[in-house]
Amino acid sequence: MNNQPTIVLVHGFWGGAAHWSKVIVELARKGYGSIRAVELPLTSLADDAERTRKMVTQISGPVLLVGHSYGGAVISEAGDQPNVVGLVYIAAFAPDAGESPGGITQEHPPVAAPNLAPDSDGYLWIKPDKFHESFCQDLTPDEGLVMAVTQKAPLASTFGNTITAPAWKKKPSWYQISSEDRMIAPANEERMSARLGARKVITLAASHASLASKPLEVAALIDEAASEAMKQR
């Protein structure tokens, strides 16, 4: 297909780029020939935004940034590059200037907040035996087990890192709310999506892991965003 942006997928806390696996397959089936998934260090917002910027800089041509969970904060911080044509938020944080994911979380604590546990090195984990019910209750127990065992814990301090100049104030955006989210309160997702002035907001009856449980719907939103963003260039 011609006139397509490169899709750059940005994961969140407690997982890596492979969390996008089902969405990647669906986008490929839709004819997208250029899809990238950045692997974040999850050591600070500055580090994660810089890693994302470096990937975007290496791409010649337009880029659509897609962020899940904390990845929404990353694309908000890193998405101001000239070749970024739009931002898609999947059950994600979309902080304003001076806001942090942690600060937003405290406004409406999510159901699974008690299932987070810091370790002695400063990393924050979802308790493995609570991962399935907290993060991805609409996936199979086997899928939840794999996500729990392979979870990528962030440094807890990353939660407090604040956005400087959110790219969503300049770039068109799209947002997917997960109405059954236990990691980000749906009320927070609704508030953030409303103030974005998003071109389209959809609500899925999904867990936080909508990218894995509802890949068809998520890929469809990304496809729609890509098409509209390119028409408006």
DSSP string, 18-41: GGGHHHHHHHHHTT---EEEE---
Q: Distance (Å, rounded) from C-alpha 49 to C-alpha 121?
A: 23
Question: Helix, strand or coil for residue 112?
Answer: coil
For the chain, state the CA radius of gyration: 16
Phi, psi of 65 (to 5 degrees): -90, 135
Going from the N-terminus, what domains does the chain have, and what CATH number goes with each?
6-231 (3.40.50.1820)
State what percent of residues in the chain have pLDDT above 90: 98
Q: Per residue in 35-70, pLDDT tens?
A: 999 999 999 999 999 999 999 999 999 999 999 999
Here the tokens at position 20 are 């996008």
Q: How many helices (H) and strands (E) does the chain have?
A: 9, 8
Q: Per residue in 109-134, pLDDT tens?
A: 999 999 999 999 999 999 999 999 99
Q: Distance (Å, rounded) from C-alpha 127 to C-alpha 124?
A: 9
CA angle, 25 then 68 then 72, to 5°: 135
End-to-end alpha carbon distance in the chain: 17
Positive or negative, the CA dihedral 24, 26, 29, 34 is: negative
Q: Per residue in 77-114, pLDDT tens?
A: 999 999 999 999 999 999 999 999 999 999 999 999 99
Q: Distance (Å, rounded) from C-alpha 87 to C-alpha 174?
A: 6
Question: Helix, strand or coil for residue 182?
Answer: coil
Q: Pairing mode, if any, of strands 63-68 and 35-38?
A: unpaired
